[in-house]
Amino acid sequence: MKFTAFLIKYAEIGIKGRNRHLFEDALIHQMKYALKKCEGKFLIHKTQGRIYVDAEGDFDYDEAVEQLRHVFGISGICPVVYVEDEGFEKLCDTVVSYVADVYPDRHKTFKVHARRARKNYPKESMEINMDLGETLLNAYPEMRVDVHDPDILLNIEIREKIYIYSKTIPGPGGMPVGTGGKAMLLLSGGIDSPVAGYMIAKRGVKIDAVYFHAPPYTSERAKQKVVDLARIVSRYAGPIYLHVINFTDIQLYIYEKCPHEELTIIMRRYMMRIAEHIAKETECLGLITGESIGQVASQTMNSLMATNEVCELPVYRPLIGFDKQEIVEVSEKIGAFETSIQPFEDCCTIFVAKHPVTKPNLNVIRRHERNLDEKIEELVKTALETDELIVVSDF
Ligand code: ATP
Ligand code: MG
């Protein structure tokens, strides 16, 4: 028996009233984008508060499921079999063979749940439940009815056609991308920042990204790795506009003029300033980083305070309370880990001091930054001019 459609379940929370259609339209938009990547033609339609995907003709079932599993806002994907209404007896036969196909092991409890969207169907829902239940018990004596907590909830929807479904494949949850504005992700080649981008996108936020590249200290391979990571995040977040900024001269200048133990903090402050500049120009409503309290010297509370100080936009740090292992788990789940651990230097690791400050004093940092007064404005301007825009998508 072939599945020819999917019923899409989405979380109801936060989408009541006026916002509901915005949520649904954004979800449909993202689903269309995701399904474009797979073979087959799909028609997505809303009917009475439900979203269905109909496959027209042949399609790759596994691939379609895989794509839908990347669409935020979907809480469950139910594969559906459509059958023509050719009388109740025929329906009984179909349901018996559906169960045979979908459940090779039938030592299970079940419940039939019929709904009539078409009221002129000759049987009422309760009657359909009873009669189909009885048919199944006769066909498969190893099955049992459990109306409270069945292993199999067999849904029968009587519409123009009859829809049969019983399985729910979990979706990624969250909110459809595009319902929550846009933010700028500071994306490095590490484990944390792609996970941070994924988590904010999951809340419906569209993602742009900026990567600070420091050739020749960081290689083309390191840059390619960041593009690859952006592509992995874009499987969930949709196309990502990645800005690559040449940061070398700023880094060298800070190295020349400031105490080396403060290098990372001062560098991070310039990254934040530049990222914010691009964010404001591109209508982003905030910045996103992969920082987590205490992970490294530049992420102690004091250091975070120092990097935060230079920004006006809110800085979202979704990993702030995560342990490394918890971050790794998400990284593996989204398929980024293998790429993140490829051994190409990112620009922070080249210039790290042996003993970086862990409790930077803001006044001291500000004073040392003044050593940069002569050239830094010009260097930031030049760096912004190097902005190379790469549109990263999963196509
Ligand atoms: P990650 O695994 O994300 O690289 P990390 O543990 O290496 O994180 P840091 O190097 O201290 O941490 O960087 C903290 C955050 O600053 C990163 O999560 C990222 O958001 C941002 N960041 C660091 N380096 C860069 C870079 N070269 N380009 C863009 N953003 C960066
Ligand atoms: Mg890093």
Angle of helix 61-68 relative to helix 20-36, nearest 10 degrees?
A: 140
Q: Supply the residue whose CA is at minimum distance from atom 20 of ligand 1.
A: 289
% pLDDT > 90, the chain: 85
Domains and CATH numbers, the chain: 5-170 (3.30.2130.30), 182-392 (3.40.50.620)
Say if strands 388-392 and 240-246 run parallel, antiparallel, or are unpaired: antiparallel
Q: Is the CB of 136 under 6 A from ligand 1?
A: no
Round to whole Å and give the CA distance between 172 and 175.
9
Residue 186 Cα to ligand 2 midpoint, Å, equals 10
The pLDDT value recorded for residue 353 is: 78
The pLDDT value recorded for residue 376 is: 98
The pLDDT value recorded for residue 373 is: 96
How many other β-carbons are positioned within 10 Å of the β-carbon of residue 194? 30
Round to whole Å and give the CA distance between 128 and 109.
18
**DSSP code, position 191:** S
Round to whole Å and give the CA distance between 197 and 325.
17
**Among 348, 350, 357, 358, which residue has the most ligand 1 atoms within 8 Å of its CB, making it the best to mutate?**
348
**DSSP code, position 174:** S
Q: Supply the residue whose CA is at minimum distance from atom 25 of ligand 1.
A: 188
Residue 250 Cα to ligand 2 midpoint, Å, equals 17
The pLDDT value recorded for residue 395 is: 74
* pLDDT 10s digits, 201-236: 999 999 999 999 999 988 999 999 999 999 999 999
The pLDDT value recorded for residue 355 is: 85
Round to whole Å and give the CA distance between 55 and 42.
5
pTM over 0.95: no
Q: What is the mean pLDDT, run by run of 10 residues, along the chain of 395 residues?
A: 91 69 90 91 87 93 95 96 94 96 96 93 95 97 97 95 96 93 96 98 97 92 96 96 97 95 95 98 98 90 96 98 97 97 71 84 96 97 98 89
Q: Which ligand is nearest to the CA of 295?
A: 1
* pLDDT 10s digits, 287-319: 999 999 988 888 999 999 999 999 999 999 999
